[in-house]
Each structure stands twice: as C-alpha cells, then as structure tokens.
Amino acid sequence: MRQLKRAALLALFGLIGALGTLTTASEASAQGLFAPVVSVDDQVVTRYEVEQRAALLQVFRTPGNLQTLAREQLIEDRVKLGAARAAGITVPEEAIMAGMTEFAGRANLSREEFLRAIAGAGVSEETFRDFIVSQLSWRDLVRARFVPRVRINDSDIDKAMATMGGGSTLRVLLSEIIIPAPPQQAAQAQAIAERVSQISSIAAFSAEAGRVSATQSRTNGGRLDWMPITNLPAPLRPVILSLGVGEVTPPIPLEGAIALFQLRGIQESGVAAREIASIDYAAYYLPGGRTEANMAEAARIRTMVDQCDDFYGLAQGQPEEVLQRQSSAPAELPQDIALELAKLDRNEISANLTRTAADGSETLMVLMLCGRTTVAAAESSREEVAAQLRNQQLEAHARVYLAQLMSNARIVQR
C-alpha cells in the first residue's frame, strides 16, 4: 500500500511538472507573438499586429506576399500616426465609427455584419479599428497641410473634361488633298478630283497634294498625323474604314472646295475612345480670301493668339461678324469645318478654309479649336470634375510628403 501511495505521489508531481512546462511554453509563445518585430521612431510593431493585418488583407483579397505587405503597411501607419500626432490631429470617436460603417458599406454590409465577417477570418475588431484610424488621421493631416496649396482653374477643368471617355478605338493615318472649287472653277476642280481619286500609290498622292492641294499640309505631301477615328465626322468614318491602305476616297464636296483622303495606315490604339458630344471653336475672318497678305496675317495671328479667348481682343472695335465663337455637336458642323477641326489639337490654328461674304467677296477663315467635350464629360458636372482634380493633387502631395517622412523616420527591423 505504501508503495502504491508513493507511486501515485510521483505521478501527481510528474503531472504538475508537465503542466508547469506546458504553461511556461504557452507563456513563451504568447510573449513571442506580442514581441516587437519593427520599431519606428518611438513606436513598435508586434508580430501579432503583422499577423492580424495579413489576415485583414486576406479578407480584402489583396494579391502579393501578405506578410511583407502587412509589415510595410504597419510601418507606414506608424509614420503617418506619428506625423498626425505631432500636428495635434486626433480622430473623434464618432468619426471612427462613421469610417468603419462607411468602409463596411463598400461590401454592402453594416458595421456589425462586417465585424462578424472578419471575426470569422480571425481578425479582431481592434485591428480593423486601427486600420480606419490610420486612414482618417492621414486624410485629416493631408487636408490640413495641403488643401491651401491646391489650385484648380477653368483651364484645368476643360482639359480634364476633354480627355474623359472609355473603351478602345481605332486610329487612322491619312493624307489629304483639298482642291479649291469656286463657282467659276468648279468643273475643273471636279475633273482633277476624279483623276486623283483613282490614285493607289502613296507617293503619287503625295506628289499631287504638293501640286493641287490648298491646305498647309501640301508642303508635307498632304500627310496628316495619326488621329482617332472618332475625331472625324460620323458620316466620313465608314468611308475611311472601307478603304485599303493606299486607296483614296471618292471626291467629297465642301463649301468652295473638294476633299480627298488617302488611307496610309490603321491600327487599334488601345487607349480610351473619346466620343465627342460637342466641339468649341473660334473662326476669325479676313476679307479678301486666300491672298498672300492674308496668309501672312494668319501666320502673324498664330504668334499672337494662344487660346480662343485671345480672339476677342483681336476683334475689338471691328464688326461683329468678324469673329464667330460657338460650341456645336459634331453632326451640326459644316462638313469642311468638321474635317478641319478633326485635324487640330486644342488651341491649334488653321487657315485652310474660305467663305463667301454677304457682298459676294471671299474671306479667309482663321480657325482655332477651343476644345472638345466628350459624351462622358457632358454627363459630369464641372464641380464633380473639379473635385476629382483636387483629390488628385492632394494625393500627389500626400505621396511626396509620406516619402519624406519615411526617409526621416528611424526604422529598425528586428
């Protein structure tokens, strides 16, 4: 009996010893989990925080090495929070709750539903809260520091609206010949146009452009740069797309002229298509038509006028009909103006077109493209576009500022 008691006591002491060993190992594991893995100035990042952030990134389906990304993000968070604290910025509790609710709403969940969902993936509420606090603190710091530096003007908005759009589109490489065809020369111009339309050689078309075309491009053999097919008037697009390389369109009648286009190339651009809703342009008229003096004056105007509004000063004190400024849907434009504007970038000028004045005399049209408004831009307000531009400028300032803070921080990996 005494031996049995002694054996039982030894077994009990052994069990106590084993439990003690297990407890010590568990404590050591816990201590290791909360041990610092990075120090950032006077703050630390623990292994637990890295594991939690990696689990949160997994919930967000973030690609890449999540452990590495989690560590990098937490280092940036410490730098951001340190800068916000130094600037006296704190986020109120109600703003934190609102931020968590807004973020959960992106997944069409309430805050409580989102917290239950991430808890199922092993992510604590505190981890999500810290993530939101870092974002809000940085947002408030960036706004306080950089909003006074952001400047958005009407020109910035115009440029942004001109580039809005989506999808892919075709680009075409064309050569042009524009043959003057005043009434007294209409038959002769038509005969020339019919002959040119039969050309299938790029070199031959270029030579003809140098001889008979009336546009500035004649000095370059009529060659134009690549342009989106959407720049061209809608009725002309299928005509151009039906051509093979080297083929020429049938003669296209314009006001006082005949146009022909040769296809030199076509390609998928892979960039955003910009279906045009309206085109803003200015037309300034010089009496006398295509005279040497007027062509010289048009060249002088090019050096004086940087944007369409400059024409108002040029036309001051002259009859109202000297300057025309309007915005039109592409389909409402006269064919020759639509074709000429298709070749121009914003604030570029051409002096290729003429018009007949009320008294029967000819005038030279100095034409400037003021801007194109895309269909997508037409559906957006200027205030919305301005807000987008402000956010873009703030983000640019924020990236530079964070890079400076990171370079100045004392970061020690452990």
Question: What's the pLDDT tens digit per position in 325-380?
Answer: 988 888 888 888 999 998 898 899 999 898 887 777 889 999 999 988 776 655 55
Within 13 Å and on the Cβ side, how many CA atoms surround 153?
1
Query: By the 8 A CB rule, do 214 and 294 touch?
Result: no
pLDDT digits 0-9 by tens, 76-94: 999 999 999 999 999 999 9
How confident is the model over 110-123, as a mean pLDDT?
A: 94
* 147 to 143, 152, 159, 232, 399: CA distances (angstroms): 5, 11, 21, 41, 14
Q: pLDDT class for 2, splitting at 50, 70, 90?
A: very low
**CA dist., res. 216 & res. 176, Å (int):** 10
How confident is the model over 128-151, as a mean pLDDT?
A: 92
Rounded to a whole number, what is the distance in angstroms from the first to the last CA of the chain? 58
**CA dist., res. 116 & res. 97, Å (int):** 16
pLDDT value, residue 168: 44
Q: pLDDT class for 160, splitting at 50, 70, 90?
A: low
Query: By the 8 A CB rule, do 70 and 53 touch?
Result: yes
CATH top class, domain 166-274? alpha beta
Query: By the 8 A CB rule, do 354 and 266 touch?
Result: no
CATH number assigned to the domain covering 31-164+383-414: 1.10.4030.10
Query: In this model, does residue 17 exceed pLDDT 50?
Result: no
**CA dist., res. 290 & res. 31, Å (int):** 89
pLDDT value, residue 163: 52
CATH number assigned to the domain covering 275-379: 3.10.50
**CA dist., res. 192 & res. 226, Å (int):** 26
Q: What is the mean pLDDT of the chain?
A: 84
Nearest to 226 by CA among 70, 335, 345: 345
pLDDT digits 0-9 by tens, 225-279: 998 888 888 778 878 888 889 999 999 888 888 999 999 998 876 655 566 778 8
Torsion of CA 355, 360, 361, 367, to 10 degrees: -10
The tokens 């299928």 sit on which residue? Answer: 238
The crossing angle, in degrees rounded to 10, of helices 186-196 and 202-212 is 160
| 166-274 matches 275-379 in fold | yes
Domain layout of the chain by residue ranges: 31-164+383-414, 166-274, 275-379
pLDDT digits 0-9 by tens, 90-112: 999 999 999 999 999 988 899 99
pLDDT value, residue 186: 86
Query: By the 8 A CB rule, do 283 and 365 touch?
Result: yes
Residue percentage of the chain with pLDDT more than 70: 86
* 306 to 71, 152, 309: CA distances (angstroms): 51, 20, 8
pLDDT digits 0-9 by tens, 48-76: 999 999 999 999 888 889 999 999 999 99
